[in-house]
Amino acid sequence: MSLGSKLPFRLVPRTQWSLAPFGFGGYRVSARTSSHRSALKKAIRLGCNVVDTSSIYSDGDSELLFGQVVRELVDKEDIKREEVVIITKAGYLSEKAEHNRSSAPSYSDKDVDHVSPGLDYSLSPRVLEDQISASLERLGMERVDLLMLHNPEQLLEVHPHLGPAFYELVSKAFAHLEKEVQRGRIQYYGVSSNTLAVPSSSPDHVCVDKLVQAANSVSEKNALAAVQYPFNLIESEVLTEGVSAKAKAHGLIRFSNRPLNAVYEGKLQRIATFPSHDGTPPTSGTDKDLVQLLKEAFDYAIHLEKNYPGADKASLPPASDYAWAQILAHNQATLGTIDRWVNALESTILPSYEPAIARLEDHAQLRSWGDKYRVAIARLFERFTWVNEANASKNSEQLTLAADATWPELNERGMATLSQKALLAARSSDVADCVLVGMRRATYVREVLLNVGPSAAVDTASDPARYAQFAAELQKAKAGP
């Protein structure tokens, strides 16, 4: 198979890998979802020869999917195993992922740090060795091409006064990874971090130079090969603060992630346009109208929940099974973006809500209430979606105005949609050797690899002054006329 005949591949000297401009990001993909499987197959067949996952993604299910798909394509002789670069990460320990293993070890408190309920973190050699074993088991492979320490700044968040001891822990982790290279279980290693470009005075700052020093202290001929960091139209600090240039000077492969998801003023900002669903009210409705409709839906659904006829009756389903309006009201700010809301609805809420609603049919005294509640919750979910879609639409309009004012040449390249503009800018900039993109649907794969992938680069995407201009244009767009 000739991978990526239409894609401009980049040869990276450090490993002699020839990388496609876009890699397949494995965040929120699962072996249990057929559309994710189809999208990954299509991406690889179209020349996407970099796949990036982590032991924590979908509680290990992302690694399962990647392993299954790559092995299937190799078995069918669609590809050769060495044609695809498989990246995974270690550091986080998910309780669910550990539970799903055939034989999961137990760790003492000195081995791990507790981050949140069901989630621990560790870079200790013992844990890394075990986590690599788990990843290889899920992937169904004997070796991974690149193993990255996943957000080592997590240690600095748990222990803000670590200071220089942080890099001593990183050195110990690197020393173990060198042993894993010798064992043949990994080929190279690297670091994926969200804080490489934060100010050096920040307590969670991770320094590229010090990472290289840590690897050199272990071995002058070390296998440290790559870094990974966020980069997009809004979060451009790895370019403007010179982090990507430092990584390049050290000969490291640079992977960027989140080209379509940014943090802006403390909130997640999706850099794409979301189509409205069929139930969206007329566009003449104002934001105030939508907010009022949502408030009415909340009030009625919460009223029903507080008057659940089965409360405190042991023979009937518990009231906690029917508290979705109250739960949503409590988490409204957290779920206040369309992407987070749709993900929570599909992955968490509906799988629990629908069986609970079905159970009401088994109890005659609950059926009338259940009919009302079913309609009320459906209306609430719909209107919550309306408000999030309206906010997403307004944000994307503002981003598009700013992008068009800053980079008119993106339109000249035929980049019609906001996501296409953002992807070509990320690919064109001298920030990454490969841009990792979430492509969970075949339509996303086609847009990224067929529409944006072969397009000519935009030189000005590497100009720090343009990103300062974009920030000013975005503020102007958000301020309104």
Helices 165-183, 125-139: inter-axial angle, 10-degree rounding: 40
**Average pLDDT across the chain, whole number:** 92
Q: How many CB atoms neighbour CB 307 within 10 A?
A: 10
pTM for the model: 0.88
**Tell me: the pLDDT tens digits for 292-332?**
999 999 999 999 999 999 998 999 999 999 999 999 999 99
pLDDT at 225 over 90: yes
Dihedral over Cα of 259, 260, 263, 264: its sign: positive
**Tell me: the pLDDT tens digits for 96-150?**
777 666 666 778 778 899 998 889 999 999 999 999 999 999 999 999 999 999 9
Mean pLDDT confidence for 423-436: 96
Q: What is the pLDDT of residue 2?
A: 45
Q: At 51, list the tokens.
A: 């796949």
Residue 151 falls in which region: left (phi positive, over 0), alpha (psi -120 to 50) or beta: left
- Given a contact cutoff of 8 angstroms between Cβ atoms, the answer to whether 51 and 70 are in contact is yes
- Given a contact cutoff of 8 angstroms between Cβ atoms, the answer to whether 223 and 181 are in contact is yes
Rounded (10°) CA dihedral 215, 219, 222, 227 = 0
Question: Among residues of the chain, what percentage have pLDDT more than 90?
Answer: 80
SS in 3 state form for the chain? CCCCCCCCCEEECCCCEEECCEEEECCCCCCCCHHHHHHHHHHHHCCCCEEECCCCHHHHHHHHHHHHHHHHHHHCCCCCHHHCEEEEEECEEEHHHHHCCCCCCCCCCCCCEEEECCEEECCCHHHHHHHHHHHHHHHCCCCEEEEEEECCHHHHHHCCCCCCHHHHHHHHHHHHHHHHHHHCCEEEEEEECCCCCCCCCCCCCCCHHHHHHHHHHHCCCCCEEEEEEECCCCCCHHHHCCHHHHHHHCCCEEEEECCCEEEECCEEEECCCCCCCCCCCCCCCCHHHHHHHHHHHHHHHHHHHHCCCCCCCCCCCCHHHHCHHHHHHHCCCCCCCHHHHHHHHHHHHHHHHHHHHHHHHHCHHHHHHHHHHHHHHHHHHHHHHHHHHHHHHHHHHHHHHHHHHHCHHHHHCCCCCHHHHHHHHHHHCCCCCEEEEECCCHHHHHHHHHHHCCCCCCHHHHCHHHHHHHHHHHHHHHHCC
Superfamily of domain 10-270: NADP-dependent oxidoreductase domain (3.20.20.100)
Q: What is the pLDDT of residue 94?
A: 87
**Tell me: the pLDDT tens digits for 248-263?**
999 999 999 999 999 9
Closest CA to 66 of 90, 93, 87, 45: 87
**Tell me: the pLDDT tens digits for 402-425?**
999 999 999 989 898 999 999 999
Q: What angle do CA 381, 382, 385 make, to 5 degrees?
A: 85
Q: What is the pLDDT of residue 109?
A: 76
CA distances from 362 to 81, 102, 303, 386 (A): 53, 37, 23, 33
Q: What angle do CA 69, 71, 76 make, to 5 degrees?
A: 95
Sequence-separated (6 or more) residues with CB below 8 Å from residue 347: none
87-91, 106-110, 209-213, 288-292: which has the minimum mean pLDDT?
106-110
**Tell me: the pLDDT tens digits for 44-89?**
999 999 999 999 999 999 999 999 999 999 999 999 999 999 999 9
Per-residue pLDDT band at 480 (split at 50, 70, 90) = confident
Q: What is the pLDDT of residue 262?
A: 94
**Tell me: the pLDDT tens digits for 184-204?**
999 999 999 999 999 999 999
pLDDT at 4 over 50: no
Q: What is the pLDDT of residue 42?
A: 97
Locate the domains of the chain by residue range. 10-270, 287-394
